[in-house]
Amino acid sequence: MMLARLTAKPEGKLAKQLCKVVLDHFDTQYSRELGEAWSAASDVLNTHGSLRTHIRHRFLKCIIENRDILTSPSCWQHAVLLNRFNYPFELEKDLHFKGYHTLFQGSLPYYPKSLKCYLSRIPHRIPSERHQIGNLKKYYLLNAASLLPVLALELRDGEKVLDLCAAPGGKSIALLQCACPGYLHCNEYDSLRLRWLRQTLESFIPEPLENVIKVSELDGREMGDAQPEKFDKVLVDAPCSNDRSWLFSSDSQKAACRISQRRKLPILQIELLRSAIKALRPGGLLVYSTCTLSKAENQDVISEILNSCSNIMPVNIEEMARTCSQDFAFVPTGQECGLLVIPEKGKAWGPMCRSKRFRRGPPHTEASTPPPTSSSIKEQYILPICMYILYVGINIIAILFPPSKLII
């Protein structure tokens, strides 16, 4: 079978060693921010009777397992996102045979039929496909939690969408599995990562669809002034501490340098968000996400944006945690508009913080870009994820997105 052939390759990447400098830093920071939950073991779990609520107990349990899974590559899981532009029917049959199941299994109100992502309950990974010029890849390996910000955008055919920090391109690829945008702008400021982004798009997207895609190398902080009120949807998957990757830094000196510069990241993230809001059309939708547990890069960034931008309204997304609990482990962020996905045994996705959606002003009255017709369309690691959803324009929510449909 196809899957048997693919899994024959050894997994050399799992042999990486933990970086003690980073682990010590995380122990210090997250013990302070998350309390005993970050480092405690059986003592916390054995005293669950004294905890005030079942949710609090689950939160502590998840954080303990989160630390263990983050530092144990053998526990990591990978999802398989199938490419609808070169559909791997044989691989799909093999995934079913091996016990994989589809993400969410139809539990979300917004879940495009064209999006097919398969998960396994046990740590199991098939190798990434090689890039071959002229040949489209059949699948993309990713952290399943990274699809949550994509689904949060609720992309529709014909909409104009901006992926502000797009490299390596996984979320752009996922967006194109959901719908046929009228225009997709993929931006990446880092030149090396930009090349990676271009290669990813070339590997998954057919030539006819390239006409609606633009790739740029603009400083994301300038995008709002360069493209004011242009986009229906904006994704800000912001540069962040990237906890999973940092834990396995091979160079301790570089790791120490990253740590010293970490406190500057929230400033950049806030500037990117403000630029993204400017680029969002009145009535548009913005999603902010990171792959770190850091409160300074998640809750504090969103609080600053909410306090300084009067034309933004957060959306309560707590319902999503209940809807998606079969596949993901969530813990509270203290903000109704934010979710934190952390690794748990059997659900080793994250950490990821998913952010709020924004809308601004009244919606445009101009006609939407017509969607492309079907005839015109002939490696990531497991990370923490935090996501927030924000709307620009308070009056828009009741008209366009009733709370019952605001699920990400």
Question: CA 235, 240, 243, 249 torsion: positive or negative?
Answer: positive
Say if residues 92 and 149 touch (Cβ distance below 8 Å). no
- What residues contact 132, with CB distance under 8 A and at least 6 apart? 203
Residue whose pair of structure tokens reads 């950490």 in the numeric block = 351
Distance CA 56, CA 53 (A): 5
- Among residues 291, 324, 337, 386, which one is catalytic? 291
Size of the chain, expressed as the number of residues it contains: 408
Rounded Cα gap, residues 16 and 72, in angstroms: 10
291 is catalytic: yes
The residues, ordered by sequence, that sit 6+ positions from 361 with a Cβ below 8 Å of its Cβ are 282, 283, 311, 392, 393, 396
Which amino acid makes up residue 79?
A
DSSP-derived secondary structure letter, 266: H
167: number of Cβ within 10 Å = 24
d(CA 367, CA 232): 12
* Cα angle 292, 385, 309; round to 5: 80
Q: How far apart are CA 100 and CA 316, in angstroms?
A: 31
Q: Which residues are marked as active site?
A: 291
